[in-house]
């Protein structure tokens, strides 16, 4: 499979990607745990059908010490017993944010639940992570970037 467009190699696309990559780096030192960030990125990428982001974030999560069981159960987190209440709240917020077009948007209940587990700085980072992964998912899904050959730490 070949991408429809070499987005990184295109001057306009490359400039855009550098900008959102830079925004993502600003979240690296946030008080939101890397575990939550990667779980959110994986779930959003599953919902949005972004194979390359799933390739990246499942491998990054594993490299950061996340278990295969938890990585494999992200798609079925509601029925899985391996996630904390805070992680479950973050995954619910992620799902609602990714599916806004399906009606309803993010509910007050989901926000209140996530706010029980995270302080304002963590919430700001969580919203940023969800927003950025959605942008990456859409770019990669639109241009059909192929997945499978990512190596953990490749973009570090």
pLDDT in tens, 121-147: 999 999 999 999 999 999 999 999 888
Q: Is the pLDDT of residue 109 over 90?
A: yes
Distances (CA, A) of 84 to 25, 32, 39, 87, 89: 26, 14, 12, 5, 9
**Hey, what are 1's tokens?**
């499979």
Q: Give the pTM.
A: 0.94
For residue 148, being part of any structural domain is answered with no
Structural domain of residue 108, as residue ranges? Answer: 11-143
What CATH number is associated with residue 50? 1.20.1290.10
Number of domains in the chain: 1
Q: Is residue 151 part of a domain?
A: no
Treating both helix axes as pointing N-terminal to C-terminal, what angle do 120-143 and 11-26 enclose, rounded to 10 degrees?
160
Instruction: Check pLDDT > 90 for residue 155.
Output: no
Residue 26 in any domain: the answer is yes
pLDDT tens digit sequence for 22-72? 998 889 889 999 999 999 999 999 999 999 999 999 999 999 999 999 999
Q: Is residue 154 part of a domain?
A: no
């Amino acid at each position: 499979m070949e991408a429809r467009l070499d987005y990184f190699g295109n001057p306009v696309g490359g400039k855009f990607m550098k900008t959102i990559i830079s925004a993502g780096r600003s979240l690296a030192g946030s008080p939101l745990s890397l575990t939550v960030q990667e779980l959110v990125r994986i779930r959003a990428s599953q919902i949005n059908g972004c194979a390359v982001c799933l390739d990246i974030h499942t491998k990054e999560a594993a490299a950061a010490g996340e278990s295969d069981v938890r990585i494999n159960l992200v798609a079925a987190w509601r029925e899985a017993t391996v996630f904390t209440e805070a992680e479950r709240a973050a995954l619910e917020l992620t799902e609602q944010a990714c599916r806004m077009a399906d009606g309803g948007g993010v509910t007050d209940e989901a926000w209140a639940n996530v706010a029980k587990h995270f302080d304002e700085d963590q919430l700001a980072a969580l919203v940023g992570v969800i927003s950025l992964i959605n942008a990456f998912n859409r770019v990669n899904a639109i241009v059909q970037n192929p997945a499978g050959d990512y190596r953990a730490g490749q973009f570090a």
